[in-house]
Amino acid sequence: MRALVKAEGLTKYFPVGGLLRPRGYVKAVDHVDLEIYEGETLGLVGETGSGKTTLGRLILRLIEPTSGRIYFEGEDITKASGAKLREFRKKAQMIFQDPYMSLNPRMTVYQTLLEVIKVHKLPIDDPEEYIGKMLELVGLERSHLHRYPHEFSGGQRQRIAILRALLLRPKFLVLDEPTSALDVSVQAQILNMLKDLQKQMGLTYLFISHDIGAVRYMSDRITVMYLGKVVEVGPAEEIVKEPLHPYTQALISALPIPDPKVARSRKKILLTGEPPSPINPPPGCRFHPRCPYVIKGKCEREEPPLVEVKRGHYVACHLY
């Protein structure tokens, strides 16, 4: 399979206590390698502070990496600027958690979308007709065209935000917790719409969420992050049914299981304590202070590499 997006050794450290004389660095993303194949959804899970959102923003060049490289369609875009960066920005878009924040409250839907068409000089003869058609594509009515953001529900606003990204006919979307600000009843509708749009438009997604149930539903493969590091990557069903890394096992064991027999037989791993600070992450395996299987004398000292243990299934843990 062809990788549409590739990250190599991607790293982002944020200085703490002033740029000139920092007291330390938040190691938000630390030497991450990642491939996102054309047409797939790669799920990205982890607790708050694991580096998921920073990684999404790095890949889209919304923030600059401290080191590492980013490739899109085989081209190195780490330092792209000018026309090359503008071209990349058309092809790769981000959908944020809170759609209200990403829409101008003083502009109607039509004005917001028309602005995108003008800024990017899209060759569209009849913008009103085009925008009307696109509204229907995301399940809204043409009569909504001249309304303001406050006249819509949260779900409808997220549909408009998605439509704004789609106007540019992108190939790749980073979906950053796109449904977590919405009512549970609306979440499934938006996820289903995203799946339909993916099929219709041949899109590739990076789906970021702390909700492993939603990630399982959306994704072909899942990447698990812990304190800025990738700890496991593999096919979605395999990650959910046979998680290998103790941290992934803990995340999965928190998922509700409808069948009581299966629920009784599943071993529960409870995570103790909060994740350590990313300013001074623990040495060796970063998960060792919370790991029930810690190997004394090894896990606190040696950082486990990410190794392939089954076809397409990688884990960073000394148990494997």
Q: Which residues bind ligand SF4 (CB under 6 A)?
A: 245-246, 285, 287-288, 291, 293-295, 299, 304, 317-319
**Could you tell me the smallest distance in angstroms from the CB atom of residue 278 to ligand SF4?**
17
Contact criterion met (CB below 8 Å) for 250 and 269:
yes
**Could you tell me the smallest distance in angstroms from the CB atom of residue 319 to ligand SF4?**
5
Nearer to ligand SF4, 147 or 318 (CB): 318
Instruction: In whole angstroms, give the CA distance from residue 214 to residue 188.
Output: 9
Nearer to ligand SF4, 22 or 283 (CB): 283
**Could you tell me the smallest distance in angstroms from the CB atom of residue 128 to ligand SF4?**
56
**Could you tell me the smallest distance in angstroms from the CB atom of residue 45 to ligand SF4?**
16
Nearer to ligand SF4, 64 or 320 (CB): 320
Instruction: In whole angstroms, give the CA distance from residue 93 to residue 102.
Output: 13
Q: What are the backbone dihedrals phi and psi of residue 242, each rounded to the nearest 5 degrees, phi first?
A: -130, 65
Nearer to ligand SF4, 278 or 304 (CB): 304
- Nearest CA among 56, 58, 144 for reference residue 97: 56
Count of C-beta atoms within a 10 Å radius of residue 160: 21
Nearer to ligand SF4, 6 or 245 (CB): 245
Instruction: In whole angstroms, give the CA distance from residue 57 to residue 17.
Output: 23
> Tokens 């539903």, residue?
217
Which pairing describes strands 172-176 and 204-208: parallel, antiparallel, or unpaired? parallel
**Could you tell me the smallest distance in angstroms from the CB atom of residue 222 to ligand SF4?**
17
